[in-house]
Amino acid sequence: MMEDKIIEDAIEYIKDFFVDEYSGHDYWHTMRVYRMAVKLAEIENADLFIVKLAALLHDIDDIKISPLTAAGKLNAMVFMAEHEVDKDVIDKVCEIIDENSFRGLDSVVPATIEGKCVQDADRLDAIGAIGIARAFTYGGSRRRILYDPEQKPLMDMNAAEYRRHMSTTVNHFYEKLFKLKDMMNTDAAKKLAEHREKIMKDYLDEFMLEWEGEK
């Protein structure tokens, strides 16, 4: 099957897959990651087909969304097999998906430039103005409170601790989001992350002033 047709079908697939997803890991998130990953891949001369496919499929087996398929990347595997994607490409895409997630101290740097582009794109969408909106959207979907001054962030969690931990949304900025700038892989992503991190810091400064009734 032609690569362009596979990508077109993947876009339609994720549109249906995420139709009832309200945690911030939705169709539009995936499309933003897709577009950013392609931009980074063009700069880095990465394999565009692998980057496009991995970016589009990166969340369909996320443990937060599809816990029963996460371990085997079953949704991604089935989609690619049905579209007769070469086994070598399937293996590379699944490796990128497996390496992509933030896991606290157990986070990994992707082995390939394609994986680095997808991971950077996904992490860029977690920070900045959209990152703020997604953080509170996700927090609401998980019944997290906005902020509790007496509950301090836990800064050095491993993957299991991070997955189990129930925190406030403001703590999430410190436990994950403010760490992402220094975890970017590509130079282009690092530059974008600097600006987006400043947006978040300015926002939290204002949040705290309003919390204390000073503005």
Q: What is the pLDDT of residues 85-144, one digit of tens each?
A: 999 999 999 999 999 999 999 999 999 999 999 999 999 999 999 999 999 999 999 999
Average pLDDT over residues 76-82: 97
Q: What is the pLDDT of residue 193?
A: 98
| Percent of the chain's residues with pLDDT above 90 | 93
Locate all alpha helices (DSSP H) within the chain, ordered by sequence.
Answer: 3-17, 27-44, 48-57, 74-82, 87-100, 113-124, 128-141, 159-164, 169-175, 187-211
Length reported for the chain:
215
- Give CA angle at 33 (32, 35), nearest 5°: 65
176-196 pLDDT per residue, tens: 999 999 999 999 999 999 999
pLDDT score, position 214 = 86
Q: Band of the pLDDT at 59, cuts 50, 70, 90? A: very high
Q: How many CB atoms sit inside 10 A of residue 82's CB?
A: 11
Instruction: Give residue 197's pLDDT band: very low, low, confident or very high (50, 70, 90).
Output: very high
pLDDT on residue 163: 86
pTM for the full predicted model: 0.95
3-211 CATH pick, 3.30.2270.10, 3.40.50.620, 1.10.3210.50, 3.40.30.10: 1.10.3210.50
Residue 149: predicted pLDDT:
96
Residue 183 has which token pair? Answer: 């975890």
- Nearest of 73, 69, 112 to residue 90 by alpha carbon: 73
**Residue 1: pLDDT above 80?**
no
Per-residue model confidence as pLDDT tens digits over 12-28: 999 999 999 999 999 99
Residue with the two structure tokens 């959207």 = 137
Q: How far apart, in whole angstroms, are the C-alpha atoms of residue 169 and residue 161?
A: 17
The confidence band for 44, taking pLDDT boundaries of 50, 70 and 90, is: very high
Residue-level pLDDT at 122: 98
pLDDT digits (tens, 9 = 90+) for 65-75: 999 999 999 99
> Across all residues in the chain, what is the average pLDDT?
96
Distance CA 14, CA 80 (A): 13
